[in-house]
Amino acid sequence: MTAQADKASDVRADATAGARSLLPDRARVFVAGHRGLVGSAVARRLTAEGHEVLARTRAELDLRDAAATAGWLRAVRPDAVVLAAARVGGIMANATYPVQFLEDNLRIQLSVIAGAHAAGVPRLLFLGSSCIYPRLAPQPIREDALLTGPLEPTNEAYALAKIAGIVQVQSYRRQYGAAYVSAMPTNLYGPGDNFDLETSHVLPALIRRFHEAARDGAPEVTLWGSGTPRREFLHVDDLAAACTLLLRTYDADEPVNVGCGEDLPIRELAETVRDVVGYRGRIGWDTARPDGTPRKLLDVSRLFALGWRPGIALREGVAAVYAQWRAEAAAQAPGSVPDPGAGGVAAAH
């Protein structure tokens, strides 16, 4: 595990101590999406806790194929499933490919959840997203805010797919008594993040933008929107710790928010990333571009009542992610990743 994961592992679930675990010792757990940001963190955590992680690549098993997915699950019969597989992306990707964000995610969810039930899998954790909540939901957002108002238009298709997943999990609980549960993470970052500027989320996009700006030596980085929307960020190793806790202890209809309980303006996030990278130029804001939801802070009292707390501070986590990304990029193309702190200001994009 990473140093950040070690910190996350120090968090104790005292409220559930002594309770019967819903996940057996040395369980065999299928992590759907094990190569992604979330799935890889969950797989690391489960392995560290002594469980056996079962995994399949997309080439080996297309989770959109219901028959193939059900057949594999029947053959393997895991003790639990963590459904972390999904088509994900930022505002631009969601706006450009709404059909794929809706249909691919619906197909994956239908295949995996129905297939798990048909195979007699006793435990399943479905991972959604905080974008399921109404655009103007009261802050911080409680789980019961779901379906109480209009969604954010820029990611409506993705959000509707994730809402369908929650309802599917609840339906299997109510009709069949399945011990299936849902968790709704806030904005995530960490090892294995996506740094493709066309499809990435805001934090890895900022890291890459400021890094390339410092490398190229131009005077300004222009970012989308006004910088005023507020966002909450959680290191993915903290999410993984929460997921294993929920697998062991939580069994109820209601989804569980997973976040740190604090947020900050995107402008402040950009300044933090700029300082970590060592960029010395200006930050500009293109207010003709969309801001997205004004604020999206999760009420995490349900999760905190189980004894969980996050262990990784934002600046520390961003610095670790940046260092790892630079090391990986340098290993792939030696000499192509100079130290931006050696001088220079940044390129506008």
Ramachandran category for residue 292: left, alpha or beta (phi over 0 → left; psi -120 to 50 → alpha): left
Which positions ≥6 away from 249 have C-beta within 8 Å? 13, 16, 19, 21, 22, 306
Please tell me which residue in 133, 158, 189, 279 is annotated as part of the active site.
Answer: 158
Q: Is 24 exposed, middle or buried (0-12, 13-18, 19+ CB in 10 A)?
A: middle
Question: 309 and 245 in contact (C-beta within 8 Å)?
Answer: no
Task: Please tell me what DSSP assigns to residue 206.
Answer: H
Taking Cα atoms as reference points, which of 129, 168, 169, 136 lies closest to residue 152? Answer: 136
Taking Cα atoms as reference points, which of 214, 340, 227 lies closest to residue 281? Answer: 214
Report the distance separating Cα 93 and Cα 31, nearest Å.
25
Going from the C-alpha of 260 to that of each of 83, 188, 287, 341, the distances in angstroms are 22, 11, 28, 30
Respond yes or no: is residue 133 known to be catalytic.
no
Please report how the helices 266-277 and 314-332 are oriented relative to each other, as an axis angle in degrees rounded to 10: 50
Catalytically active residues, by annotation: 158
